[in-house]
Amino acid sequence: NAGVTQTPKFQVLKTGQSMTLQCAQDMNHEYMSWYRQDPGMGLRLIHYSVGAGITDQGEVPNGYNVSRSTTEDFPLRLLSAAPSQTSVYFCASSTQGLSKNEQFFGPGTRLTVL
Amino acid sequence: DAKTTQPTSMDCAEGRAANLPCNHSTISGNEYVYWYRQIHSQGPQYIIHGLKNNETNEMASLIITEDRKSSTLILPHATLRDTAVYYCIVKPGAGSYQLTFGKGTKLSVIP
């Protein structure tokens, strides 16, 4: 299993540009989520999904859109990038069972908005 | 979710046990204690979780006080690769998936 994969690893955008951060998992996990991590801070939840076709907002959703058309993929879209969105973005997935709810995180995408 | 308090940083000698404390005095009856760690620039990694009993796995042990208001993560023989930020997270168990990360404890393992 590749686990959780994220592309790209690094990205530089200009203010106002749009882009999509890709996240995929091959563990057949129902739950997927996006976090952002600013320097010296913990992770903050942006959006999450409990299954295909179902998404919801987290703590800091403004400026980001998500969709979940398949179990495997959960892309994060920045419609009009702003310098405040400079951050490291992590995708995570988890099974919905009655188990330990261990979340598996991807390696991150480092985004700089100029 | 209940709030957690952790020391900002700790040092541990290589080969010794690392004991990382966490206070969660407002924890409610259905909330679990989870520990994750984040090695420099990588995605967080699950370590262990528990409700009220002490737990042990191949990575660590988790000791939860009887009143559940605090807990300690124990790495029995710390290595340099254990240098990381450790996050203590309290959240409901099955059916709840959102993790609320604080700033965690930066553990430095010293040779």
Q: Can you give the pLDDT at residue B94?
A: 62
- Chain B residues within 8 A of A44 when measuring between CB atoms: 101
pLDDT value for A100: 64
Residue B6 has which token pair? 């952790």
Q: Which of B45, B49, B103 sits opposite A42 (nearest CB)?
A: B103
The C-alpha of B3 sits at a distance from chain A's nearest C-alpha, in angstroms, of 13
Give the amino acid at A26. Answer: D
Looking at beta carbons, which residues of chain B come within 8 Å of A96? 95, 97
Cα distance between residue A42 and residue A10, in whole Å: 20
Residue A95 has pLDDT above 90, yes or no: no
Q: For residue range B86-104, list pLDDT tens digits in order.
A: 999 998 866 677 888 989 9
- Give residues with Cβ within 8 angstroms of B43, minimum separation 6: A4, A90, A92, A105, A106, A107, A108
Tens-digit pLDDT profile for residues A40-59? 888 999 999 999 999 999 99
CA–CA separation, B86 and B54 (whole Å): 18
The residues of chain B scoring below 50 in pLDDT are none
Question: Could you give phi then psi for residue B80, rounded to 5 degrees?
Answer: -60, -30
**Between chains, do A48 and B42 touch, taking CB under 8 Å as contact?**
no
Q: Does A39 touch chain B (CB under 8 A)?
A: no
pLDDT at residue B6 in the model: 97
Mutation target vs B (from A38, A105, A109, A111; most B CBs, 10 A cutoff) = A105
What is the model's pLDDT at position B2? Answer: 63
Could you give the C-alpha distances from B102 to A3, A70, A88, B65, B80, in angstroms and in order?
Answer: 25, 31, 16, 21, 23
What burial letters (b/e) apply to A41-80, b meaning 16+ CB within 10 Å?
ebbbbbbbbbebeebeebebbeebebebeebbebbbebee
Pairwise CB contact (< 8 Å): A43 & B44: yes
Within 10 Å of residue A101's Cβ, how many Cβ atoms?
22
Q: What is the mean pLDDT of chain A?
A: 93
pLDDT at B4: 94
Q: What is the pLDDT of residue B98?
A: 82
As a whole number of angstroms, the distance between CA A19 and CA A51 comes to 23
CA B45 to chain centre: 11
Interchain CB distance below 8 Å, A41 and B103: yes
- Contact list in B for residue A58 (CB cut-off 8 A) is 98
CA-nearest residue to B39 within chain A is A107
Q: What is the spatial distance between Cα B97 and Cα B34, in angstroms, rounded to a whole number?
A: 12
